[in-house]
Structure 1
């Protein structure tokens, strides 16, 4: 179970969640993922292991919750002044971030998330922001952008020996823009 969004903002629940998330991130930076345990996280966060089990259920659900939280964007997508430029900047950054080792681990952890579709909603929001900047242009749908940009990027990162080349990504953007 993932911590509920409707709990008191800034209250004890938010502080516990922040402390546990911080502990997970620090431990994953310092140790092999396979060696990180709930008791280690609890000790680092200053909570009992039962607090973690009660809120998240198990380690994989906790790791998924942390990964989903890390996937939330810190800022709006880059505004380059053109739809094509914005899509290129977004797609290149997405490729770079997700093909890194932390990005790969994040994607694997998110697969255990009890909130399917959350990642698509994050990506949809970012891409909708880009599309909305250019109301006078004929823009592809957000679903088309996810299918032609994000899906092949993720598939190649997770299931191929090499991620998409930037040139291939640019070709996919051109395909997406042919509406």
Structure 2
């Protein structure tokens, strides 16, 4: 059974620590200057969209830093359609992997087979959850394995091996073409499911 709380594999905590540290450093270095999201994002090496997604406003971020409060991990957003869910989820994945902290974490995990399989487990379970929502909406659920190949694999390759920046237009094209694929509902006949190889830290399957 899919887990009810999907952790992003440690990226969330590392990114929040980097953002909090950036705010603290900038406050000390520039006590008389008004901080901006752009300044904080640049120091923390994260996209500004990551800060807005997690804290909504600069004021909320500053309040959380002041109280040393960290946001809990959340389930992938429910937009009302699978295409909307996948678009938002992929955008968040790309933002996290493109950030300095998230990028460094996944590169570390690539050198450790068990850690890499744990990271793969988080992405796979997110997609299991998103596909599971389809039944309640009357949408035909695709195979999570197909989405891993059509959405996650090209993003990982382009970011970590080609050193590319992933544009929003490219993300939208990936989602659109994945959902248009005639094989999206079909399991692989000659390849084992990723679920049989990933590792879940709490033992849930």
* Structure 2 unaligned regions, length at least 5: 1-12, 23-71, 185-205
Q: In angstroms, what is the RMSD of aligned CA positions?
A: 2.4
| Higher RCO (CA-CA < 8 Å; seq separation 6+) | 2
TM-score by length of 1: 0.57
Q: TM-score, normalization: structure 2?
A: 0.50
Residue 139 of structure 1: aligned partner: 141
Matches for 1:98-117 after TM superposition, within 5 Å: 98-115=97-114, 116-117=116-117
Contact 1:140/1:176 (8 A) holds in 2:
no
1:117 partner SS: helix
Residue aligning to 1:121: 121
Name the SS of the counterpart of 2:134 in structure 1: coil
Secondary structure of the corresponding residue to residue 164 of structure 1: coil
Q: Measure how far apart 1:76 and its partner are.
A: 0.8
Structure having the larger proportion of residues in helix: 1
The answer as to 2:95 corresponding to 1:93 is: no
Q: 2:170 aligns with which of 160, 168, 171?
A: 168
SS at structure 1 position matched to 2:131: helix
Aligned length: 113
Displaced runs of 4 or more, over 6 A: none
Distance 1:121 1:161, change over 3 A: closer
